[in-house]
Amino acid sequence: MLLTVWKYREFIIGSVKREFQARYRNSILGMAWTVLNPLSMIVVYTVIFSHVMKNKLAGVENEFGYSIYLCAGVLTWGLFSETVNRIQDVFINNGNLIKKVNFPKLCLPVTSIMISLLNFGIIFTLFTLFLVATGNFPGVNYIWLFPVLLIQILFSLGLGVVLGVLNVFFRDVGQFFGIFLQLWFWATPIVYPESILPEWFKPVMGLNPMADLIAAYHTILIEHTVPGLESLVYVIVLTILVCALAVRIFKKHSADMVDEL
């Protein structure tokens, strides 16, 4: 399946280009908005939470500690939610293309991931420049973001494909997951530290794979240390299982999707 996708890499790259061109076609500033929007968000988080509200992160003396904590969680969660939302609708949104053109349908989720990663790459580059400018760059430990990011991408891909296939046959899946995603966000320590949670809720938090991933980002970007492998074992195993399920469901119902669409 991966070799087939590789053969259609030009189709994928072309689809990504068309997406960005369509987004800014009638815009005066054009591609500049891809920088201005995330830049404004980082500035707002920094100014409001660090200098106006004077928010402090427990155990962190740095005045930008909470801003970095918030940005690290919000940006990486944004990548997760955008990726899964794109993939869960990708087969429905491209129904006419699937029915008229013979190409590997797996190219569509891959295209969705590349678009999400391109958006994320722009905003996270700006965030990295902010870390450097404020003296909070984690140094060589920064490279550990990439394996954590890879785990997140694979988990998002697997979950998105499962939801995308189910959404073709049961349209309520997409509506339900939109509501569930909001609850999932607030059940993940992104805007608040895990230390404030009641003891009875912490075992429930242990079942949340995004909590482990967000905690790994916080460990790298705030504590400037390497997250322990034991803290990621659960999410790695879950990612493998979700991807295996996605492959099974996709291969089993790939042909049926054409008729349903």
SS3 labels along 65-115: HHHHHHHHHHHHHHHHHHHHHHHHHHHHHCHHHHHHCCCCCCHHHHHHHHH
Supply the pTM of this predicted model: 0.87
Q: How confident is the model over 86-103, as a mean pLDDT?
A: 83
Q: State the Cα–Cα distance between residues 261 and 256, nearest whole angstrom.
A: 9
Amino acid (one-letter) located at 8: Y
pLDDT value at position 84?
Answer: 94
Nearest alpha-carbon partner for 80 in 167, 151, 147: 151
pLDDT value at position 209?
Answer: 94
pLDDT value at position 252?
Answer: 87
Q: What are the CA-CA distances from residue 80 to residues 129, 133, 180 (Å)?
A: 22, 27, 14
Q: How confident is the model over 78-87, as a mean pLDDT?
A: 92
Q: For 186-190, which contacts have Cβ atoms below 8 Å and span 24 or more sequence positions? A: 187/211, 188/73, 188/77, 188/214, 189/73, 189/214, 189/215, 190/70, 190/73, 190/74, 190/77, 190/214
User: What is residue 52's DSSP assignment?
Assistant: I
Q: State the Cα–Cα distance between residues 24 and 27, nearest whole angstrom.
A: 5
Q: State the Cα–Cα distance between residues 161 and 85, nearest whole angstrom.
A: 10
How is residue 203 written in tokens? Answer: 């075992």
Q: State the Cα–Cα distance between residues 137 and 155, nearest whole angstrom.
A: 27
Residue 230 dihedral angles phi and psi, to the nearest 5°: -60, -25
| pLDDT digit string, tens, across residues 198-254 | 888 878 888 899 999 999 999 999 889 999 888 899 999 999 999 999 999 988 888
By the 8 A CB rule, do 108 and 89 touch?
no
* Domain residue spans of the chain: 2-260
By the 8 A CB rule, do 120 and 75 touch?
yes
Q: Per-residue pLDDT for 15 more than 90?
A: no
Q: How confident is the model over 120-141, as a mean pLDDT?
A: 90
